Amino acid sequence: MIKFNRIIFTLFTLCSALVANAEDFKKSAIGLGNFNCAKVSEHLQAEDNKSMLFNAWMAGYFSGKNVYFLDGKSPASATEYEEVLLPHLQRFCADDPDASLIKAMESYLMFKVSKQEVIVG
């Protein structure tokens, strides 16, 4: 079991290192939360806000946090995604371009908690 855990840890570490630069942003969702806001905003704008990698990472982030969105308040809704999530991330990233994507998503989640539109846990 210990050997298996070491192999998984090594593979995860190597995969994370492979996507550490901005050019690889479009190739893998692994480690996406570590990208800085400036790169994420640039990518989302270039992809017309339809980034499949971002959406996959975001779904995993919310799933990992055990987030339950109330009806119509999920970023899976096109209206919520385009009118609330993306503008929130763009504002957060404009204010702190060196912050990581995960910090921006935590800010969005706290915003939704403050509006009582999600249940976490």
Distance, in Å, from the CA atom of 2 to the CA atom of 76, rounded to the nearest integer, reads 38
* 23-46 confidence digits (pLDDT tens): 544 445 557 788 888 787 777 766
- Residue 104 pLDDT more than 70? yes
Pick 76 or 17 by higher pLDDT. 76
Q: Mind giving me the DSSP string for 105-121?
A: HHHHHHHHHHTT-EEE-
- In this predicted structure, which of 29-43, 64-78, 82-96 has the lowest mean pLDDT? 29-43
Please check the confidence at residue 80 and state whether its pLDDT lies above 60. Answer: yes
